[in-house]
Structure 1
Amino acid sequence: MRTSLVRTLGCITLGVFLLVAGTAHLTVARSEFTAQVPAWLPLDADVVVVVSGVVELVLGVGLVFFGRHRVLVGWVVAAFFIAIFPGNIAQYVDGVSAFGLDTDRARLIRLFFQPVLVLWALWSTAAWRDRRLLRR
C-alpha cells in the first residue's frame, strides 16, 4: 500500500531529524550526549554515543531513502526510540543537565516526547497499518 503525501513528508522529516542527531552525536554535541548515558550502563559512555550516532544515521538514511522498506524501517526506528528511553529517564532521575534541560521540570516534560517519537515513526511509515506486509 502507498502512503499519503503527509505521511511521506513526516517520514522524511523524521529521517532528517535522525540524520542531524546522528551527526551531532559524532561531532558538535558529543559531550552533551555523553552526559546523558546512564551511569548504570556497563559500557563506555563514549562508545555508546558513537554507536547510537551511527545507528541514528543509518535509520535516518532508511527513512529518507528506503521507502520500499518503510514498514520494517518504521518498526526498527520505533524500537530504537524505546531502547533509548531509559537514558532519558536516567537523565531525569539523576538530574543531569544537557541540551538546555537544566531543571527537573524540563527533563520531565522531555519524557513525554519520547512516546510521540515512537508514534511518529509508526504513523509516518504506516508500519502499524501495513504490519501484515512484514509476514510476506
Structure 2
Amino acid sequence: MTKSPSLLQNLARVGLGGFLAFAGISHLTFARDEFQAQVPEALPLNEDFVVLASGVVEISLGTAFMLWKDKRIPLGWLLAAFFVAVFPGNISQYLTRTDAFGLDTDRKRFIRLFFQPVLIGGALWSSGAWQERKARD
C-alpha cells in the first residue's frame, strides 16, 4: 500500500515539476544557445535537436510531475532517470571548460556537478518513490 505524501513532499514535487517545466521552456526560447553549450561533442546528434527534444521532454515531465498525482511514483523514477541521463552534459561542460549559465570557472562547473544527485534525490523523495521501494523490501 502506498503511503500518502506529506505536505512538504507535495510542495517539493510541484516545485520541482515547475522548475523542470520552466527549464524546458527556456530550452525552446531564451536559453537555447546556453543549453547547446552543454551537449557533449561526442554525442552524434545535432546540438539544436538535442536541446529542443530535451526541452519538450522537460516540459512534459515537469507538467506531469506537478499534475498527475496518482502516477507520482513512476514519474519520480522516470524523472530521476532523466536527471541521470542528462548528467553527462554537465560533466562535458566541466571537462571542456565551456562557459554557460554563469558557470565561467572550473570551480563553479565542478560545484554544479554535486547538484545533480540532489535533483535525483529530490525526485525520488518528493514523489514517494524511494519510500515505496523501501517499504517493499
TM-score by length of 1: 0.95
Instruction: Select the residue among 60, 63, 68 that pairs with 1:61.
Output: 63
Which residue is 1:110 aligned to? 112
Instruction: Select the residue among 125, 128, 132 that pairs with 1:126.
Output: 128
Summarize the alignment of residues 1-136 of structure 1 with structure 2, pairs less than 5 Å apart: 1-131=3-133
**Structure 1 residue runs of 4+, over 2 Å off?**
none
Which residues of structure 1 form unaligned runs of 5+? none
Question: Residue 71 of structure 1 contacts residue 131 of structure 1 at CA under 8 Å; is this kept in 2?
Answer: no
CA distance in 2, matches of 1:6, 1:128: 15
- One-letter amino acid matched to 1:119: G
User: Structure 1 residue 100: deviation in Å?
Assistant: 0.3
CA distance in 1, matches of 2:36, 2:25: 14
CA distance in 1, matches of 2:106, 2:77: 31
What RMSD over aligned residues (CA atoms) do the two structures have, in Å? Answer: 1.4
TM-score by length of 2: 0.95
CA distance in 2, matches of 1:18, 1:121: 11
How many correspondences in the alignment? 134
- One-letter amino acid matched to 1:6: L
For residues 77-135 of structure 1, the C-alpha deviation after alignment (integer angstroms, 9 at most, x for no partner) is 000000000010000000000000000000000000000000000000011112389xx
% same residue: 55
Which residues of structure 2 form unaligned runs of 5+? none
